[in-house]
């Protein structure tokens, strides 16, 4: 189950208008959706924010993968619903489940349509991160590189995880057998090889990077430069307006759940 | 055998039910794999994965080899006996209490093999067993496979190692782009230029030699050294006799 959820966060290399948006503008859009969804529990607003994203998925041609990941996340949303149903009113349970789906959808939209390379470039442009990275790690682009690498390793790790699961099942391991404690223990033969593979890979990656002269000199240039297009400015404007409006409403009005 | 992405591993995973057929039927001893669990099928069909790092997790080699036996519900006494026997057979007995992670690549691969052989499956599937093994280890593996075979076990091997296959001269199934393109005895399949190219393999050295010797009346379908030696000896005696007669 857990692996299919990851599918909804994997970058798909397509050339649609959504993929071509500037990652910075797109990230602000994500914040613009997340801020109101965390500030308010109004069901209409949450449902609206969810529906608004559907055309974006369709333009980005990732609707099918999004639905798959939603289906895989159904168990978790059911859990959230049940827990909140027993601890509060029904509308609240519905709102919180919607919020979970909305957050998942929004991040899935961002990661499915933004290439890790673009993301790295975008993070590299943020002055604060460059400053922080220099203070902590000595190089201005070390932090952005760390982030890009982490994102990029997710699909590789997913493949490894599948192979490990296959290998252990071939040795008679049955993951969904036994009581709760036994089931948790069943994952030990999966997690240990996976962890060791990850550690070994990171050491190899470090060596390969050093062999190629990482981190290089200050003022590194890149082949592709990010540039804002009119549509990016539009997105930026809408997102900023949305964020400001949300805070303003949050401070001066009370929005009911339904 | 076949090129990368030909579907060899996918086919192997069908055999113990890790993958279920989306079309058609796969049966193991008459049992439909779609109706059996992986654990049930694995009891009969043991798959040894290519990379031992994907399965080693225990603190000692002994525990690692015993893991599957415990999963299959063997008695503790039987587990102990089977583990010792397998370690002995694969020359790993002196590592029994060592951590598998301290062993070399080739040894780890042997532990992975032992971890499957321990429950004595009727069918053994080996995914690229010769990668990273030196000559001696390959020799030992070959003997081991032949020994298993003589005990009546079926051994299926996924590999690119033409020379290794040529020496055993088993039945070969060539795959390409998800399809079986040829099957037959190794000496027929691996000496066929068209098929070899289709599956992007290298011809075994003996096959190369004999395709060039064919103008002297030698057959082309020779892949193993023993048959090559036999044919060459025959020819030599023939020539020697002819020289003796003419002088």
Query: For A53-68, what is each residue's pLDDT tens digit?
Result: 899 888 888 888 888 8
| Residue B13: C-alpha distances to residues A180, B46, B169, B239 (Å) | 29, 10, 24, 52
User: Which of B37, B42, B51 has the CB atom closest to A171's CB atom?
Assistant: B42
Helix axes B105-117, B61-71, angle to 10 degrees: 30
Euclidean distance between the first and the last CA atom of chain B, given in angstroms as a whole number: 51
- Distance in Å, alpha carbon of B129 to nearest chain A alpha carbon: 15
- Distance in Å, alpha carbon of A199 to nearest chain B alpha carbon: 12
pTM for the model? 0.75
Of A75 and B112, the one with more pLDDT: B112
From the list A7, A159, A151, the residue with the least C-alpha distance to A71 is A7
From the list B179, B212, B216, the residue with the least C-alpha distance to B195 is B179
- Distance in Å, alpha carbon of B7 to nearest chain A alpha carbon: 15
The SS3 of residue A214 is coil
A160 touches chain B (CB under 8 A): yes
Interface of A with B in 194-233 (CB under 8 A): 196-197, 200
Per-residue pLDDT band at B77 (split at 50, 70, 90): very high
pLDDT of amino acid A195 = 93
- Distance in Å, alpha carbon of A204 to nearest chain B alpha carbon: 15
Pair of tokens at residue B46: 């043991």
Helix axes A74-87, A90-113, angle to 10 degrees: 150
- Whether the predicted pLDDT of B144 surpasses 90: no
Q: Which residue out of B12, B42, B54 would a mutagenesis test of the A interface target, given it has the greatest number of A Cβ atoms within 10 Å?
A: B54
In DSSP terms, which residues pair with B184 in a beta bridge? B172
Mean pLDDT of the B56-78 span? 93
Q: Please state, in angstroms and rounded to a whole number, the distance separating the CA atoms of residues A142 and A218.
A: 11
pLDDT of amino acid A1 = 42
A187 touches chain B (CB under 8 A): no
pLDDT of amino acid A5 = 65
DSSP codes joined into one string, chain B: -BSTTSSHHHHHHHHTTSS--SSS--EETTEEGGGS-HHHHHTTEEEE-S-GGGT---SSHHHHHHHHHHHTT--HHHHHHHHHHHHHHTT-GGGTTS-GGGS-HHHHHHHHHHHHHTT--SEEEEESTTTT--HHHHHHHHHHHHHHHHTT-EEEEE---HHHHHHH--EEEEEETTEEEEEEEHHHHTT-HHHHHHTT-PPPHHHHHHHHHGGGT--S---SHHHHHHHHHHHHHHHHHHHHHH-
| Residue B126: C-alpha distances to residues B8, B47, B123 (Å) | 11, 6, 10
Whose tokens are 């010769």? That residue is B130
- Distance in Å, alpha carbon of A70 to nearest chain B alpha carbon: 24
Query: H or E element: which one contains A197?
Result: helix A188-211
User: Which of B53, B57, B71 has the CB atom closest to A172's CB atom?
Assistant: B71
Contacts of A186 in chain B (CB under 8 A): none
- Distance in Å, alpha carbon of B54 to nearest chain A alpha carbon: 5
Helix axes A90-113, A43-60, angle to 10 degrees: 20
Inter-residue contact B204 to B31 (CB < 8 Å): no
ipTM strictly over 0.90? no
* Residues contacting A82, CB < 8 A, separation 6+: A93
Domain segments of chain B as ranges? 8-202, 204-247
- Distance in Å, alpha carbon of A240 to nearest chain B alpha carbon: 47
User: Which of B38, B43, B119 has the CB atom closest to A169's CB atom?
Assistant: B38
User: Which of A171, A174, A193 has the CB atom closest to B115's CB atom?
Assistant: A171
The SS3 of residue A201 is helix
The CATH architecture of the domain made up of B8-202 is 3-Layer(aba) Sandwich (3.40)
Q: Which residue out of B48, B57, B101, B119 would a mutagenesis test of the A interface target, given it has the greatest number of A Cβ atoms within 10 Å?
A: B57
CB contact under 8 A, A171 and B51: no
Q: Residues of B near A (CB-CB distance < 8 A)?
A: 13, 16, 18, 37-39, 42-43, 46-47, 49, 51, 53-57, 67-68, 71-72, 101, 115-116, 119
Q: Please state, in angstroms and rounded to a whole number, the distance separating the CA atoms of residues A86 and B86.
A: 55
Per-residue pLDDT band at B218 (split at 50, 70, 90): confident
CB contact under 8 A, B53 and A169: no
Q: Which residue ranges of chain A lie beneath pLDDT 50?
A: 1
CA B125 to chain centre: 7
CB contact under 8 A, A164 and B54: yes
CB contact under 8 A, B101 and A200: no
CB contact under 8 A, A171 and B68: yes
User: Which of B47, B53, B101 has the CB atom closest to A170's CB atom?
Assistant: B47
Q: Nearest chain A Cα to B53, which residue?
A: A193
CB contact under 8 A, B54 and A200: no
| Residue B140: C-alpha distances to residues A114, A253, B146, B168 (Å) | 51, 79, 10, 13
Euclidean distance between the first and the last CA atom of chain A, given in angstroms as a whole number: 33
A37 touches chain B (CB under 8 A): no
Least confident of B4-13, B81-90, B128-137: B128-137
Give the count of beta carbons closer than 10 Å to the beta carbon of residue A69. 22
CB contact under 8 A, B116 and A170: yes
Q: Nearest chain B Cα to A173, which residue?
A: B71
Question: Is-cis flag, bond preceding A215, omega within 30?
Answer: yes
- Percent of chain B topping pLDDT 90: 49
For chains A and B, what is the number of CB pairs under 8 angstroms? Answer: 61
């Amino acid at each position: 189950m857990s692996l299919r959820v990851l599918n909804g966060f994997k970058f798909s290399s397509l050339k649609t208008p959504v993929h071509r948006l500037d990652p910075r503008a797109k990230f602000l859009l994500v914040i613009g959706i997340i801020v109101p969804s965390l500030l308010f529990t109004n069901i209409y607003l949450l449902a609206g924010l969810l529906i608004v994203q559907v055309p974006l998925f369709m333009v980005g041609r990732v609707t099918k993968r999004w639905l798959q990941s939603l289906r895989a996340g159904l168990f978790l949303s059911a859990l959230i619903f049940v827990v909140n149903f027993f601890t509060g009113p029904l509308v609240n349970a519905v709102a919180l489940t919607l919020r979970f789906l909305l957050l998942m959808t929004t991040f899935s939209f961002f990661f499915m349509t933004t290439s890790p390379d673009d993301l790295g470039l975008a993070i590299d442009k943020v002055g604060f991160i460059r400053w922080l990275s220099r203070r902590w790690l000595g190089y201005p682009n070390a932090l952005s590189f760390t982030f890009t690498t982490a994102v990029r390793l997710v699909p590789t790790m997913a493949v490894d995880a599948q192979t490990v699961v296959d290998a252990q099942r071939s040795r008679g391991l049955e993951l969904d057998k036994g009581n709760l404690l036994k089931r948790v223990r069943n994952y030990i033969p999966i997690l240990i090889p996976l962890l060791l593979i990850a550690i070994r890979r990171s050491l190899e990656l470090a060596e390969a990077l050093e062999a190629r002269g990482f981190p290089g000199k200050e003022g590194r240039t890149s082949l592709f430069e990010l540039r804002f297009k009119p549509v990016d400015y539009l997105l930026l404007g809408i997102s900023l307006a949305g964020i400001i409006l949300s805070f303003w409403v949050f401070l001066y009005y009370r929005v009911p759940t339904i | 055998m076949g090129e990368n992405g030909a579907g060899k591993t996918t086919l192997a995973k069908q055999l113990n039910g890790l993958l279920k057929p989306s079309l058609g039927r796969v049966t193991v001893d008459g049992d439909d794999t779609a109706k059996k669990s992986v654990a049930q099928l694995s009891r009969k069909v043991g798959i040894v994965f290519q990379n031992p790092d994907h399965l080693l997790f225990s603190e000692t080699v002994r525990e690692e080899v015993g893991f599957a036996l415990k999963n299959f519900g063997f008695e503790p006494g039987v587990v102990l006996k089977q583990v010792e026997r397998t370690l002995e057979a694969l020359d790993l007995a002196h590592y029994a209490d060592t951590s598998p992670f301290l062993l070399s690549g080739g040894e780890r691969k042997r532990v992975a093999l032992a971890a499957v052989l321990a429950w004595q499956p009727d069918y053994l599937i080996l995914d690229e067993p010769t990668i990273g093994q030196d000559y001696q280890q390959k020799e030992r593996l070959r003997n081991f496979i032949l020994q298993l075979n003589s005990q009546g076990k079926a051994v299926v091997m996924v590999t690119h190692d033409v020379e290794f296959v040529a020496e055993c001269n088993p039945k070969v199934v060539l795959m390409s782009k998800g399809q079986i393109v040829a099957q037959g005895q190794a000496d027929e399949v691996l000496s066929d230029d068209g098929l070899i190219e289709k599956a992007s393999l290298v011809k075994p050295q003996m096959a190369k030699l004999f395709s060039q010797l064919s103008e002297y009346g030698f057959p082309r379908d020779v892949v193993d050294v023993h048959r090559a030696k036999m044919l060459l000896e025959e020819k030599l005696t023939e020539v020697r006799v002819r020289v003796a007669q003419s002088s």
